[in-house]
Amino acid sequence: MELTPATAAERGLLQTEQLYEYILKTSVYPREPELLKEIRDLSSSHPQAFIATAPDAGQFMAMILKLINAKKTIEIGVFTGYSLLLTALTIPDDGKITAIDIDRSTYDRIGLPVVKKAGLTHKINFIESPALLVLEQLLRDPENHESFDFAFVDADKNNYANYHEKLLKLLKPGGIIMYDNTLWGGTVAMDEEFVPPGRLETRVHAMDLNRKLAADSRVEISQLPLGDGLTMCRRL
């Protein structure tokens, strides 16, 4: 599927690109940890750098991880490792992240050296696999049921509704799931004729997920216009 970067104004509800730059320069970049900046800089030469987690969404995620004292987390979709390092920097020293990506080569090349430098590899269990298989495997062990504090879902958008069912079983009551890219370049609110062809299929899945989450009495939700749209779910 061909995917082109969306402008900041298209990604969220912001009126202009300048307003997004203002937020980043005023409130996000000055507080971004140096090691995260390093991963962001190293990632910027990657042809798909635009798929990395948006720093404003990352800043919010770190706040939530701290507020709920998250210790045991799942990440679906690592890429170069921005959100993974962010999580590893935020959770306590005995915290553990189950990080899943279908291809670990980009992380190994770009993110892992920075994570090693930060001395944080002990917090990460990286599993190279399609995420659904890993979630199914985790669920086979009853000890994993209702044991995770937090999940960040940022891969394979067409499967989000399937991830949701598994994650609800893995998450503790009160646990948080963050779904990224739920506004899908702003296409969820466009007339179909204006949607770039490469975004049509996933747009349908994003709209379906947004409807399902809104109707799901097992969670509380908040649709945040951060990055490309971040939906926060709190398991009841």
Nearest to 233 by CA among 154, 173, 193: 173
Residue 180, strand partner residues: 230
Q: Which is nearer to ligand SAM, 83 or 231 (CB)?
A: 83
CB 94 within 8 A of CB 149: no
Binding-residue pattern over the window 137 to 176 for Ca ion, x denoting contact by CB under 5 A: -----------------x----------------------
Residue matched to tokens 């899943």: 100
- Select from Ca ion, ligand SAM, none the partner in contact with residue 102, using the beta carbon and a kind-dependent cut-off of 5 to 8 Å: ligand SAM
| Residue of closest CB approach to Ca ion | 180
**Would you count residue 181 as binding Ca ion (CB under 5 A)?**
yes
Contact partners, residue 6, CB within 8 Å, separation at least 6: 185, 186, 228
Least distance (Å) from Ca ion to the CB of residue 65?
Answer: 17
Q: Which is nearer to Ca ion, 181 or 202 (CB)?
A: 181
Least distance (Å) from Ca ion to the CB of residue 154?
Answer: 4
Q: Which residues bind ligand SAM (CB under 6 A)?
A: 51-53, 76-80, 82-83, 100-103, 130-131, 154-156
Q: Which is nearer to Ca ion, 82 or 126 (CB)?
A: 82
**Would you count residue 180 as binding Ca ion (CB under 5 A)?**
yes
Q: Which is nearer to ligand SAM, 127 or 218 (CB)?
A: 127
Residue ranges in contact with Ca ion by CB under 5 A: 154, 180-181
